[in-house]
Amino acid sequence: MKLKGPTIIVLLLLSCGAAFGQTTVKLGFLGHDKQTQYCDYVQITVEKSYVVTGVHFLAAPGSVTCFSEPGLNGVMAGIATNIPAATGLPVTGPVATFADNTYDEEGGYMGACGCAEYYISKLRPSTAQEIQNGVSGWALYTNFGGTAALQNFGFTTKQLGNNNANSADTFDLNLN
């Protein structure tokens, strides 16, 4: 059996944390417009068993422009996998795929929507070359009433939050 490049990368990434049983990364979100750094960010942990857990933070500490209620963060659960480029999805290669309950956590603010949020994210920040070439690092899908649709996508970053530049978050519908 011959292993392909992306499979080897997934195995290497996950095996690097194997001695400790897990790998944890924190990633921010840059919009597909290459300008909007979103308020929210995630901390993703990939367990040795490929199970993904984490926290979706609505804003960086001290943010004054972003919606931020102390303790009002989403939790995530999913798996690490490899999505082949041939699928045509916005994010491919070694990724974390996870459901997120942030909308439910914001229920008192937004009202209960009954939405299901599902992210696909690379497990590292997007490179300058990937951003220049439009190679997405994250995508958000929303399922409302049984129909799932791409809601937003962009690039992963090392920047956590947006330094009070705006009040946008990844839930904002902006596919233009």
- Residue 64's region, left for phi above 0, alpha for psi from -120 to 50, else beta, is alpha
Q: C-alpha 93: how far from its chain's center?
A: 14
At a CB cut-off of 8 Å and minimum separation 6, what does 154 contact?
29, 30, 31, 32, 33, 36, 38, 136, 137, 138, 170
Please state the pTM of the whole predicted model.
0.81
What integer pLDDT is reported at residue 19 of this predicted model?
47
Residue 147 token pair:
């129909």
User: What would the pLDDT profile of 90-117 be if each residue is shown by its tens digit?
Assistant: 999 999 999 887 766 665 555 556 667 8
Question: Which range (46-55, 72-81, 138-147) has the least confidence?
Answer: 138-147
Give residue limits of the domains in the chain: 5-157
Residue 13 pLDDT > 80, yes or no?
no
Under 8 Å between Cβ of 153 and 171: no
CB atoms within 10 A of CB 72: 16
